Amino acid sequence: MVGHAETQRGAPTATIERLCRYQQVLAQLERDGVKTVSSGEIGRLVATNAAQVRKDLSHFGEFGTRGLGYSVTELRARLRGILGLGERRNIAIIGAGNLGSALADYPGFEGRGFNVIAVFDNNPAKIGHRRHGMRVRPLGELATVARETGIDIAVIAVPEPAAQSVADTVIAAGVSAILNFAPKHLHAPPQIVIRNVNMTSQLEYLSYFLALGEGPPEEGA
C-alpha cells in the first residue's frame, strides 16, 4: 500500500516490498534444495521480471555472478540482513476482537521471528480472557509492557473511531512501528513508520480485473 517514496537509503518503498517477496521465494527454494537461481526465475516467482530484480538488488550492493546466477542461501542471508529479519521482534496486538484474535493466532508470525508478546483491549468484557495463550491486558498497561519487555511493532486492530487514540498511546509508549488495520489515516510524527492494511483496497484491485473481464497478471504468493 506504499508508494514510491524514497527511503533515506535511496531504495523506493516498492523495492522493500519486493525484497520481502524475494526473501520468501528464496526461503521456499532453499527448503526445496535449490542451490542457485537466476534473476529471471526470481522475477517469474514474484510476478516481476529479471531487470526489476537486478535493479532492486543494485540498491544494496553487488549480488551474484553474471551468467551463474545467485546462490540461494547467500542471497537469502543477505536479504534477511537488509530486512533486519535476523532479530526477533516483539509484537503487541491492540484489539482483542475477531481481527486481533485472528492476528494473535496467525500461524506465519512465530516462525518468522515475530513474537506476539501481548494483546490489549479496553473492553472490560475482553480483559482477562485468553488470546493466543495470553491474558488480554488493559490498554493502560501498554506503556509498562513497552518499558519492561519492549514492543517493536504495535498492530492496531480496533474500530476506526478508536484508532487514532490507540496510535497516540502506542507512540507515547515509545513504539516506533505500527501495522494499522483500521480503515483510517493515522497522524503520527515523521519518525514513526506506519503500514496501513486496507481490506477494501484489496477488493477494489480485484474489481479492476472483473471490470476488464479478462485474465489477471501473474501474481506471487
Of 67-75, 121-129, 138-146, 211-219, which part binds a second copy (CB under 8 A)?
211-219
Contact in structure between 100 and 157 (CB atoms under 8 Å): yes
Q: Nearest approach, Cβ of 209 to a second copy (angstroms)?
A: 4
Q: Which is nearer to a second copy, 103 or 136 (CB)?
A: 103
Residue 80 in grid coordinates: 534477511
Of 20-28, 68-76, 134-142, 166-174, which part binds a second copy (CB under 8 A)?
20-28
Restricted to residues 182-201, the positions that interact with a second copy (CB under 8 A) are 183-186, 190-201
Q: Which is nearer to a second copy, 34 or 203 (CB)?
A: 203
Exactly one of 37, 93, 103, 139 binds a second copy (CB under 8 A); which one?
103
Those residues whose C-beta lies under 8 Å from the C-beta of residue 37, and which sit 6 or more positions away, are 26, 29, 69, 70, 72, 75
Q: What is the DSSP letter of 129?
A: S
Q: Which is nearer to a second copy, 48 or 169 (CB)?
A: 48
Those residues whose C-beta lies under 8 Å from the C-beta of residue 157, and which sit 6 or more positions away, are 93, 94, 95, 97, 99, 100, 103, 181, 182
Nearest residue to 172 (alpha-carbon basis) of 148, 146, 137, 136: 146
What stretches of the chain adopt beta strand conformation (E)? 36-37, 70-71, 89-94, 114-121, 130-131, 134-135, 137-138, 153-156, 177-180, 193-196
Q: Is 219 in the site for a second copy (CB under 8 A)?
A: yes
Exactly one of 35, 112, 130, 147 binds a second copy (CB under 8 A); which one?
112
Q: Is 106 in the site for a second copy (CB under 8 A)?
A: yes
* 3-state DSSP assignment of residue 42: helix
Interface mask (CB under 8 A) for a second copy, residues 164-183, using x and -?
------------xxxx---x
Q: Nearest approach, Cβ of 96 to a second copy (angstroms)?
A: 10
Contact in structure between 156 and 164 (CB atoms under 8 Å): no
Q: Is 123 in the site for a second copy (CB under 8 A)?
A: no
Q: Is 214 in the site for a second copy (CB under 8 A)?
A: yes
Q: Across the strands, what pairs with 116?
A: 91
Exactly one of 21, 54, 59, 129 binds a second copy (CB under 8 A); which one?
21
Exactly one of 33, 61, 67, 108 binds a second copy (CB under 8 A); which one?
108
Q: Is 212 in the site for a second copy (CB under 8 A)?
A: yes
State how far the Cα of 27 lies from the Cα of 40, in Å rounded to an integer: 17
